[in-house]
C-alpha cells in the first residue's frame, strides 16, 4: 500500500509577481501531488500531499528550477498529515498583518511578449501594454501588498472574457499576471496637443512618430514617469530642448531600437551588451565612436554616450525602425532642470506644456515615479551611477540583521533606506533635495516604502549636516515619534556603504579612501579628500587633503575659477595674468576675492577632492564655471590622454597631503606648451599615485591592507582604474561599489549600518 504524507512549505524572497505560483502548480501536478499554494503578505505558502519520493523531488525542484525572476531567500519545510485535498489548487491570498515581502521592480518586456507584439495574427498585435507573468510593470503600479490586481493601478480596468480566461488558467503564460490587458479591456494611448486629443491608438502612435520625424519634442508617458523625446541627430531639435529644459550641458540619455544601432555609435564590449540587454534595461555609459552622427549637443565635451534599449512595448512601437524615422531618440526625464520627473497626467500637462510640442499619453496610472537607472561596466562588474527603475525596490541583502531603521541619506542625488531583518530597501533615486517638489517626493516615498514593506522604524539615521532638508526631516520625525536619532559623519557613511555593498561582515577595519565634493566633518570643516580607518562601529581620520579656503561656499562650487585661485593663494603661488582662471575676473573682483581669502571672510576650510579637480580644470582653461554638478572634473577627465604615464607629485607630511608641488609642476608644464591632454593625465596619475602612497603609509602604521573606494569622485573612470591598478600591484585588496552608487545616492545604506551598530552598544548617540 502506498504511503501518502503531507508537507507544509514556506518560501520567502521575490516570489510574487514572477510566475511562482503557476510554477509551483506545474511542479505539483507533474508529480501527482495534491494540496494548494497561496500568496501571503510574507511570501508563498504551500501544502502538498503525496508519496515521500515525489515530495522530496518537489522540494528540490522548487529550489533548483524556479522561474527566472524569482529569488528564494529562505525555504522552510515541515511535515504534516494529509490535508484531504484531492487536486492541486491555487487559492486566494492570505494577508498577515505586519508581515512583508520584497516587491519586484518593473520588468522589461520579455521575448515572448515581444514576438506577439509584432505578430499580425496575435490578438495583442501592436498593443502597447502587452505583458505576462514574466514581464511588465510592477513597482510603479503597486499601491499595497499583497501584489494582486486590486492593489495596483490596474484595479479600474475590468478584464474581458478572454483575458480573464488566461488569468485563471494555470497553464497559460498570463496566469495571475496582475497587469494583464488587451486592446479590448486594457489601457489605451492617445496623442494630444494643448490639452486637445488629436488621435487614439495606432493613429496616435503614428502621429507621435510624425512629430519626432520633423524634429519636434514630445512628452512621452512611460513606466515610471514622462520622458522628453526628440531626434538625437537633429541639432536644431536638441538646441531647442536644451533651451526649454534650461539644461545647458548636462548629458541626455538616448534610446535605440536595438543593439546593432547602438554599436554603430558606441564601442560596446560583450559585458556592456549584456548590461544593455539585462532585464533592468539601465542607461549604460559607453565610449562614443568618433564617427557617430549623434549630435554633440547630446553630451557636450564628453567621450561617452548614455544608451538604453526599449523596455516597454510602447517604446518598441515608438522606435520601430523605418528609413525616414530617427534611429536614436533622446529620452530624457520629463522635467525642468532639477525638478522631479513628471508622472501624473495633470501635472505633466501643466509642467511640461512649455517644454513639449505634443504629448503621447496613456491611461494606466503610475503610482510611484521612478527615473531610469544609469550604470557602466568596470571590467566584468557593473558600477551603478544612479539606481532607479528596474533595480528599486529590490532589497540589498545585508551582511547582518538590523532592527527596523530609516536612514534619510544626504542632500544631492538623495535616496533613503529602510531596513528590516537582513534586508535594506534602498529607495530609487529621489533627486537633489533642494526644492519643495523633491522634498515632497522624498516624504511620500518614505511613507510608501514603510507601508509597502511594513516597517516602523525604531531609529533614524541622518547626516551630521544640520541644514540638509533630509536631516531636518529626521529631526522632526524623531521628535514627533520619540525615536532615537543617530547622526552619521558623511564620509564614515560612504565607507560603511562600500563595505555593505560588498557584503562585508567583519569587525576588521579597512582603509577608506573617500573622495567627494563635500561632507561636514566632525571638526566643522568641509571634508572630501579623506583617508579613514574604520568599519561600521567607528573610524579614525588617518590623513586628508590640506585645508584650503572655500570662498563664499556654494558660489565657489559653481565657479571652479574661484577654487583655482583659492588653491594658488593657499600654496603661496602668485596669480599671474596668463592663468586661465584669472580671465573670469575683473581687477576689482580679484581684489575682493584676495581680501576674502586673506582675511578668511566667509571662507570655510575644505579638504575636498572634488574641489581639487575643479581647480585643476579651471587652471587648464577647461571650465571657469559649471552648469551641472561635477562638470569641471568630467570634462577634465574626458580630455586626458589615457596612455600617459607620468604623474605630478604631492607633498605628504604626516596626516596632511599638500598639492603645492602638483600645482607648480602643472603650471610650469602648461607654460612650456605641454598639451592639455597630457597635463590632465599627469594630474589624474598624480592623484592615483598619492592615493597609493598614503595607503602604503597607513598599512605600515597599522598593518591594514584592505582599501574601500567610495565617494562621488570615484565615478571618474580614469582615476578609478589607475588607482585600483596601483593598489592591487601593491598587494592591497580593493573594494569598489557594485550594487549602489559611489556618490551620495548610496550613502543611506551606510547610514543604516552605522546606526544599527550604534543601536547595539547604547550610550553613544553620535558617530562623529
Ligand atoms: Zn512577457
Ligand atoms: Zn482583455
Ligand atoms: Fe558624498
Write the pLDDT tens digit of every residue in 148-186.
899 999 999 999 999 999 999 988 999 889 999 999 999
Question: How many Å lie between the centroid of ligand 2 and the Cα of residue 365?
Answer: 18
Going by C-alpha positions, the residue among 331, 339, 293 that lies closest to residue 311 is 331
Pairing of strands 218-221, 226-231: antiparallel
pLDDT band of residue 22 (cuts 50, 70, 90) is confident
Question: How many Å lie between the centroid of ligand 1 and the Cα of residue 331?
Answer: 23
- Integer Cα distance of 620 and 643 in angstroms: 19
pLDDT at 57 over 70: yes
Question: How many Å lie between the centroid of ligand 1 and the Cα of residue 328?
Answer: 24
- Integer Cα distance of 588 and 467 in angstroms: 32
Q: What are 598-630's pLDDT values in tens digits? A: 998 999 999 999 999 999 999 999 999 999 999
Question: How many Å lie between the centroid of ligand 2 and the Cα of residue 312?
Answer: 18
Supply angle C-alpha 302, 307, 309, rounded to 5: 175
Question: How many Å lie between the centroid of ligand 3 and the Cα of residue 743?
Answer: 6
Q: What are 242-272's pLDDT values in tens digits? A: 999 999 999 999 999 999 999 999 999 999 9
Ligand that comes closest to the CA of residue 745: 3
Longest Cα–Cα distance in the chain: 103
| The C-alpha cell that represents 684 in the structure block | 589624474
Question: How many Å lie between the centroid of ligand 3 and the Cα of residue 523?
Answer: 17
Report pLDDT for 766.
44
Ligand that comes closest to the CA of residue 180: 2
Q: Judging by beta carbons within 10 Å of its beta carbon (0-12, 13-18, 19+), is residue 338 exposed, middle or buried?
A: middle
Residue 639, preceding peptide bond in cis (omega within 30° of 0): no
Is residue 634 within 8 Å of 684, Cβ to Cβ?
A: no
- Integer Cα distance of 14 and 683 in angstroms: 46
Average pLDDT over residues 391-400: 91
Ligand that comes closest to the CA of residue 164: 2
CB within 8 Å of 748: residues ≥ 6 apart: 407, 408, 409, 410, 415, 416, 417, 426, 427, 461
Ligand that comes closest to the CA of residue 136: 1
- Integer Cα distance of 301 and 251 in angstroms: 9
- Integer Cα distance of 117 and 191 in angstroms: 20
Question: How many Å lie between the centroid of ligand 1 and the Cα of residue 320?
Answer: 19
| The C-alpha cell that represents 755 in the structure block | 546606526
Say how many Å lie between the first and final Cα of the chain, rounded: 71
- Integer Cα distance of 590 and 598 in angstroms: 12
Count of C-beta atoms within a 10 Å radius of residue 421: 15
Q: What pTM value is reported for the model?
A: 0.92
Question: How many Å lie between the centroid of ligand 1 and the Cα of residue 597?
Answer: 62
Percent of residues in the chain assigned helix, strand, coil, to nearest 5: 35, 25, 40
Question: How many Å lie between the centroid of ligand 3 and the Cα of residue 399?
Answer: 23
Is residue 370 within 8 Å of 394, Cβ to Cβ?
A: no
pLDDT: is 497 or 98 the higher one?
Answer: 497
Pairing of strands 358-362, 218-221: parallel
Is residue 260 within 8 Å of 286, Cβ to Cβ?
A: no
Q: Which residues surround ligand 2, an ion (CB under 5 A)?
A: 160, 163, 182, 184-185
Ligand that comes closest to the CA of residue 609: 3
Average pLDDT over residues 567-580: 95
H-run or E-run covering 687:
helix 676-702
DSSP character at residue 644: -
Question: How many Å lie between the centroid of ligand 1 and the Cα of residue 113?
Answer: 4
Count of C-beta atoms within a 10 Å radius of residue 311: 23
Question: How many Å lie between the centroid of ligand 3 and the Cα of residue 241?
Answer: 30
Residue 635: strand pairing partners? none
pLDDT band of residue 283 (cuts 50, 70, 90) is very high
Q: What does the H/E/C string look like for 129-193?
A: CCCECCEECCCCCECCCCCCHHHECCCCCCCCHHHHHHHHCCCCCCCCCCCCCCCCCCCCEEEEE
pLDDT at 338 over 90: no
Question: How many Å lie between the centroid of ligand 3 and the Cα of residue 460?
Answer: 19
Is residue 502 within 8 Å of 396, Cβ to Cβ?
A: no
Q: What are 340-378's pLDDT values in tens digits? A: 899 999 999 999 999 999 999 999 999 999 999 999 999
Question: How many Å lie between the centroid of ligand 3 and the Cα of residue 590?
Answer: 30
Count of C-beta atoms within a 10 Å radius of residue 244: 16
Ligand that comes closest to the CA of residue 107: 1
Q: What are 298-322's pLDDT values in tens digits? A: 999 999 999 999 999 999 999 999 9
Question: How many Å lie between the centroid of ligand 3 and the Cα of residue 610?
Answer: 10
DSSP character at residue 225: S
Task: Give the dihedral of Cα atoms 66, 72, 74, 80; nearest 10 deg.
Answer: -30
Amino acid at each position: 500500500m502506498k504511503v501518502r504524507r503531507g508537507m507544509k512549505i514556506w518560501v520567502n524572497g521575490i516570489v510574487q509577481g514572477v510566475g511562482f505560483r503557476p510554477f509551483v502548480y506545474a511542479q505539483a501536478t507533474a508529480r501527482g501531488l495534491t494540496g494548494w499554494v497561496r500568496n501571503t503578505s510574507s511570501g508563498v505558502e504551500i501544502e502538498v500531499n503525496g508519496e515521500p519520493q515525489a515530495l522530496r523531488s518537489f522540494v528540490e525542484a522548487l529550489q533548483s528550477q524556479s522561474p527566472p525572476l524569482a529569488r528564494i531567500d529562505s525555504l522552510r519545510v515541515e511535515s504534516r498529515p494529509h490535508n484531504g485535498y484531492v487536486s492541486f489548487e491555487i487559492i486566494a491570498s492570505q494577508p498577515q498583518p505586519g508581515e512583508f515581502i520584497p516587491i519586484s521592480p518593473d520588468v522589461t518586456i520579455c521575448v515572448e511578449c515581444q514576438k506577439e507584439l509584432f505578430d499580425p495574427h496575435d490578438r495583442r498585435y501592436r498593443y502597447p501594454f502587452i505583458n505576462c507573468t514574466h514581464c511588465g510593470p510592477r513597482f510603479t503600479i503597486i499601491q499595497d501588498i499583497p501584489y494582486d490586481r486590486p492593489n495596483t493601478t490596474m484595479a479600474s480596468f475590468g478584464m474581458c472574457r478572454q483575458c480573464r480566461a488566461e488569468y485563471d488558467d494555470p497553464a497559460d503564460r498570463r496566469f495571475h499576471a496582475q497587469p494583464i490587458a488587451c486592446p479590448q479591456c486594457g489601457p489605451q494611448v492617445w496623442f494630444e496637443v494643448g490639452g486637445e486629443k488629436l488621435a487614439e491608438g495606432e493613429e496616435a502612435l503614428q502621429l507621435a512618430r510624425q512629430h519626432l520625424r520633423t524634429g519636434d519634442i514630445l512628452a512621452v508617458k512611460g513606466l515610471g514617469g514622462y520622458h522628453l523625446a526628440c531626434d538625437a541627430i537633429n541639432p536644431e531639435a536638441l538646441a531647442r530642448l536644451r533651451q526649454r529644459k534650461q539644461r545647458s550641458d548636462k548629458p541626455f540619455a538616448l534610446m535605440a531600437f536595438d543593439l546593432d544601432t547602438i554599436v554603430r555609435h558606441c564601442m560596446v564590449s560583450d559585458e556592456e551588451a549584456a548590461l544593455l540587454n539585462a532585464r533592468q534595461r539601465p542607461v549604460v555609459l559607453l565610449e562614443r565612436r568618433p564617427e557617430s552622427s549623434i549630435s554633440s549637443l547630446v553630451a557636450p565635451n564628453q567621450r561617452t554616450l548614455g544608451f538604453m534599449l526599449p523596455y516597454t512595448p510602447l517604446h518598441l512601437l515608438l522606435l520601430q525602425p523605418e528609413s525616414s524615422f530617427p534611429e536614436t531618440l533622446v529620452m530624457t526625464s520629463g522635467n525642468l532642470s532639477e525638478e522631479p520627473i513628471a508622472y501624473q497626467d495633470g501635472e505633466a500637462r501643466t509642467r511640461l506644456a512649455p517644454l513639449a510640442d505634443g504629448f503621447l499619453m496613456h491611461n494606466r496610472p503610475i503610482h510611484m515615479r521612478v527615473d531610469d537607472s544609469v550604470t557602466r561596466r568596470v571590467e566584468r562588474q557593473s558600477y551603478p551611477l544612479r539606481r532607479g527603475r528596474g533595480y528599486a525596490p529590490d532589497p540589498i541583502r545585508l551582511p547582518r540583521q538590523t532592527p527596523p531603521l530609516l536612514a534619510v541619506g544626504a542632500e544631492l542625488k538623495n535616496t533613503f533606506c529602510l531596513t528590516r531583518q537582513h534586508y535594506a530597501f534602498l529607495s530609487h533615486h529621489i533627486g537633489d533635495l533642494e526644492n519643495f517638489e523633491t522634498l515632497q517626493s522624498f516624504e511620500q516615498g518614505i511613507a510608501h516604502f514603510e507601508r509597502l514593506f511594513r516597517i516602523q522604524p525604531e531609529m533614524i539615521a541622518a547626516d551630521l549636516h544640520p541644514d540638509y532638508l533630509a536631516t531636518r526631516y529626521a529631526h522632526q520625525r524623531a521628535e514627533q515619534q520619540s525615536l532615537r536619532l543617530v547622526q552619521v559623519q558623511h564620509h564614515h557613511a560612504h565607507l560603511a556603504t562600500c563595505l555593505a555593498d560588498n557584503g562585508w561582515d567583519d569587525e576588521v577595519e579597512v582603509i577608506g579612501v573617500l573622495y567627494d565634493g563635500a561632507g561636514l566633518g566632525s571638526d566643522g570643516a568641509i571634508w572630501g579628500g579623506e583617508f579613514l580607518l574604520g568599519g561600521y562601529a567607528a573610524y579614525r581620520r588617518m590623513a586628508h587633503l590640506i585645508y584650503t579656503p572655500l570662498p563664499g561656499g556654494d558660489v565657489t562650487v559653481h565657479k571652479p575659477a574661484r577654487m583655482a585661485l583659492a588653491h594658488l593663494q593657499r600654496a603661496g603661488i602668485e596669480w599671474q595674468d596668463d592663468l586661465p582662471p584669472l580671465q573670469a575676473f575683473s581687477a576689482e573682483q580679484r581684489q575682493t576675492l584676495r581680501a576674502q581669502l586673506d582675511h578668511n571672510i566667509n571662507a570655510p576650510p575644505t579638504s575636498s577632492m572634488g574641489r581639487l579637480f575643479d581647480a585643476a580644470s579651471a587652471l587648464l582653461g577647461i571650465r571657469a564655471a559649471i552648469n551641472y554638478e561635477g562638470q569641471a572634473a568630467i570634462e577634465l577627465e574626458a580630455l586626458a590622454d589615457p596612455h600617459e604615464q607620468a604623474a605630478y607629485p604631492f607633498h605628504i607630511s604626516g596626516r596632511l597631503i599638500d598639492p603645492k608641488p602638483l600645482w607648480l609642476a602643472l603650471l610650469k608644464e602648461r607654460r612650456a606648451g605641454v598639451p592639455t591632454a597630457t597635463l590632465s593625465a599627469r594630474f589624474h596619475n598624480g592623484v592615483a599615485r598619492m592615493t597609493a602612497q598614503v595607503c602604503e603609509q597607513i598599512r605600515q602604521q597599522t598593518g591594514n591592507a584592505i582599501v574601500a573606494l567610495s565617494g562621488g569622485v570615484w565615478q571618474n573612470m580614469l582615476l578609478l582604474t589607475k588607482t585600483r591598478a596601483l593598489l592591487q600591484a601593491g598587494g592591497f585588496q580593493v573594494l569598489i561599489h557594485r550594487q549602489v552608487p559611489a556618490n551620495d545616492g548610496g550613502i543611506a545604506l551606510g547610514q543604516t549600518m552605522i546606526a544599527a551598530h550604534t543601536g547595539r552598544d547604547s550610550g553613544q548617540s553620535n558617530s562623529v
